[in-house]
Amino acid sequence: MSNPTPPVGPGLPETQTLVPDTVTEPAKQRAGKQAKAARSASLWTDAWYDLRRRPMFIISMIIILILLIMSFWPSLFTSVDPYNARTCDLSTARQGPSPGHLFGRDNLGCDVYARTIYGARNSIVIGVFTTLITTLVGGLLGIVAGFRSGVVDTVSSRLTEIFFAIPPILGALLIAATFRGRANSIMLVIIALAVLGWPMTFRIMRAAVITAKNQDFVIAARALGAGAGRIMFRHLLPNSLAPVIVVATINLGTFIAAEAALSFLGVGVQSPDISWGLMIADARNRFLEASLPLVFPAVFLSITVLAFIMMGDAVRDALDPKLR
């Protein structure tokens, strides 16, 4: 093998075109036509195009939008300021609905409607941010661990097992109590819940990635010379996102409820601050005498959770070309 070998390069000489000219002509014409007529599709643009036509997505987005407006400008919805103690009247405690106080009054004689509106902010902020953090952290680590396997996977999997071994409420209580006073109570709740919540997302993402990464299309991408980033984010992520979206939207409600448990145990949101969880916890003792102070925040909580689950479902379906 003494003769010189040609350098590795494009397989065919540059002068040789891929297609005989007879074939290229119609292709060129068609390409020109297409460029004018059609959009260039990709998974995300197609999904967005599809979502805008899904009633379930539109309804859930309207609900979420209303809830967000409610969190940012609660005074648009009620003229009563529940943070002002003078709006409460102990002598009217647990009164039923009356004009001006449609949802009735709670244990301290405060307006349940106004408190529910004002409670949206803390509850939604805690729910949404905890979900975002757990999904981002757990999801990213899950992709990397599932794709890299080996040492990275072993170390991060053992780490999540340590977190799984901590009883969630006890762990959150510990974190919130330890750092109490160093940060605002809402942030503390978010951090405590996120620290204990991400291993769940991690596991689901990792399992989905491990299933996806042995499929032929990933091997084909490697054979093309695709790098780790492209394989993880173009091939693995879209194909393992579905279970993560479902769990994340369901978890959102769990986090709002967990905030209530923490408030009940004395960390997290505390009176006079308002949150749905706190309201539910307060009204629980007198539920038989006055059910409305518990029912209304609970209904709002359910609507919020439902809206996010509906949105998650719609997004998941839109990201599956087979279901369009």
Partner 1 sequence: MANDSSERILEVRDLVKHFPLTQGILFKKQIGAIKAVDGVSFDLNRGETLGIVGESGCGKSTLAKVLMALERPTSGSVKINGRDIAKARGGELKRMRRNIQMVMQDPYTSLNPRMTVGDIIGEPYEIHTEVAPKGDRSRRVQELLEVVGLNPDHLNRYPHQFSGGQRQRIGIARGLALQPEIIVCDEPVSALDVSIQAQVINLLERLQNEFNLAYIFIAHDLSVVRHISDRVGVMYLGKFVELGKDTEIYDRPAHPYTQALLSAVPVPDPEGREQRERIILQGDPPSPANPPSGCRFRTRCWKAQEICAQEEPLLQIRPGTGHESACHFAETHDVVHVS
Q: Which residues bind partner 1 (CB under 8 A)?
A: 1, 3, 5-12, 18-20, 23-24, 26-28, 30-31, 34-35, 38-43, 46, 215-217, 219-227, 230, 234-235, 238-239, 319-322
- Partners of 101 in the β-ladder: 98
Q: How far is the CB of 310 from partner 1 (least distance, A)?
A: 22
CB-based contact 93:109 (threshold 8 Å) = yes
Which residue, 52 or 234, has its beta carbon nearer to partner 1? 234
Q: How far is the CB of 152 from partner 1 (least distance, A)?
A: 16
CB-based contact 96:296 (threshold 8 Å) = no
- State the Cα–Cα distance between residues 239 and 243, nearest whole angstrom: 10
Q: How far is the CB of 146 from partner 1 (least distance, A)?
A: 17
Q: How far is the CB of 1 from partner 1 (least distance, A)?
A: 7
Q: How far is the CB of 245 from partner 1 (least distance, A)?
A: 14
Which residue, 18 or 162, has its beta carbon nearer to partner 1? 18
In sequence order, which ranges of the chain are alpha helices (DSSP H)?
21-37, 43-51, 55-72, 112-148, 150-165, 168-178, 185-213, 216-224, 228-230, 237-264, 276-284, 292-318
Q: How far is the CB of 6 from partner 1 (least distance, A)?
A: 5
- State the Cα–Cα distance between residues 240 and 237, nearest whole angstrom: 5
CB-based contact 253:100 (threshold 8 Å) = no
Which residue, 273 or 320, has its beta carbon nearer to partner 1? 320
Q: Which residues contact 199 (CB under 8 A, 6 or more apart)?
A: 138, 160, 161, 163, 164
Cβ atoms within 10 Å of 253's Cβ, excluding its own: 18
CB-based contact 276:297 (threshold 8 Å) = yes
Q: Hey, what are 287's tokens?
A: 């539920």
Which residue, 182 or 322, has its beta carbon nearer to partner 1? 322
Q: How far is the CB of 8 from partner 1 (least distance, A)?
A: 5
- State the Cα–Cα distance between residues 279 and 117, nearest whole angstrom: 11
Which residue, 217 or 287, has its beta carbon nearer to partner 1? 217
Give CA separation, 187 vs 2, 122, 127, 128, in Å.
71, 10, 11, 12
Which residue, 7 or 181, has its beta carbon nearer to partner 1? 7
Q: How far is the CB of 40 from partner 1 (least distance, A)?
A: 7
Which residue, 181 or 229, has its beta carbon nearer to partner 1? 229
Which residue, 31 or 183, has its beta carbon nearer to partner 1? 31
CB-based contact 209:92 (threshold 8 Å) = no
